[in-house]
Structure 1
């Protein structure tokens, strides 16, 4: 058994963030598929791991640690692997600021618009329009903040980039055109050029998989 087990479901954006971090850090891990449609996330065995009944969940069997919430997991893995943490405390705190920012209008707008386009959920027309505007507004803000910068924090990729990329990468499925956001597109390309990068389909299989 690998040191880590990632519990998730392939359509989950937050699970993809963790899967991407594990790939970028070349960290062997088992993957446990959680069938949300069948209610597996509400079973007693899963609730014992995550009281919120959500994915992702990361188990560190070596240290007997079980964590939920993707931002917390990224932070933990940055400590354990010594990668993507930022060069000092100031950069680490800046990365955390980005993670909290991303959980607001960007995640709400992109994930909900994607859910609508893929038929996962239905929203009243006015709610769908508000979700889209939330995404577009956040992308415009992100584009402006990336002006003159290669990365969100400091001179290299951090968990901030992994976290925010794990939201922005679903714009295509949400049918949100990124053409107006040139800085965002260039930044996403830099993330995709990182060694070990994998997209959602490669990070999140549709069945449980043991580490090679």
Structure 2
């Protein structure tokens, strides 16, 4: 990759993960904050017709979606972050996050953080309560998986950890219920000691 390769991002949940990955693996990217659903919509549509971020743009290659971007950057700069010999395990957690843990935690993030900032209506607390009920058994699964281990796959952090923890930096504001899940809380405290995870936007706008 050349230093001119560009990662378009915002401060929302999924772009935050992409920026954290890029900075953790030391990718020499140009970071551009974008508003593809607002002021940048028309200019952004040729880059990503979904008008969403993150997007990684390289000469001859444009990648939408956080997981694809993470796979690309890990392969280029830090193969151990998505280790080839354990790729199926990492992918298992990525898929589990998308369909279960982060899916329901994301409802809480959206209703309690995004809606008050960007919508005329208030949070749908009935929907949030239903999401909390759906989330609880998956939080218990994660807590059990972390018993006696520091990371989800292997002895060092991998993309599995970043992906499953996507919503947890917003846990207090989104009121994601973690009481009673000591292993999850300790695991995210370990992630918070990683500078790229704790402050992915440091020095960016």
Q: Deviations over 1:148-176 (max 9, x none)?
A: 22111122211111211222222122122
Relative to structure 1, the CA distance from residue 182 to residue 116 in structure 2 (aligned partners, 3 Å threshold; closer, same or farther) is same
Matched, 1:115 2:110: yes
Q: Is the 8 A contact 1:56 1:68 kept in 2?
A: yes
Structure-2 separation of matches of 1:192 and 1:66? 30
Relative distance call for 1:173 and 1:101 in structure 2 (3 A) is: same
Equivalent residue runs for 1:59-138 within 5 Å: 59-61=57-59, 64-83=60-79, 84-86=81-83, 88-89=84-85, 91-118=86-113, 119-120=116-117, 122=122, 124-138=124-138
Question: Which segments of 5 or more consecutive residues in structure 2 lack a partner in the other structure?
Answer: none
Aligned to 1:47: 45
Return the alpha-carbon distance in structure 2 between the equivalents of residues 39 and 136 of structure 1. Answer: 38
Quote the residue 1:35 is aligned against.
35
Greater length-normalized contact order (CA 8 Å, ≥ 6 residues apart): 1
* SS class of match (2:7): strand
**Superposed counterparts of 1:124-203, under 5 Å:** 124-194=124-194, 196-202=196-202
Give the drift of 1:3. 3.5
How far apart are the structure 2 equivalents of 1:202 and 1:35?
19
**Secondary structure class of the residue paired with 1:66:** strand
How many equivalent residue pairs? 198
CA–CA distance in 1 between the matches of 2:196 and 2:34?
24
CA distance in 2, matches of 1:177, 1:74: 27
Per the alignment, residue 210 of structure 1 pairs with none
| Residues 82 and 125 (structure 1), Cα distance of their counterparts in 2 relative to 1, 3 Å cut | closer
TM-score by length of structure 2 reads 0.84
**Structure 1: distance between partners of 2:125 and 2:21:** 36
SS at match of 1:78: helix
Moved more, 145-154 or 122-131: 122-131
What root-mean-square deviation, in Å, do the aligned CA atoms of Structure 1 and Structure 2 show? 2.3
**What is the deviation of 1:73?**
0.9
**1:125 and 1:167 mapped to 2: Cα distance?**
18
State the 1:26 CA deviation: 2.1
More divergent stretch after superposition (149-158 vs 1-10): 1-10
1:99-124 CA-partner distances (Å, limit 9, x unpaired):
11101232222222122222145454
Give distance in 1, aligned partners of 2:167 and 2:140.
14
Give 1:201 shift.
Answer: 4.7
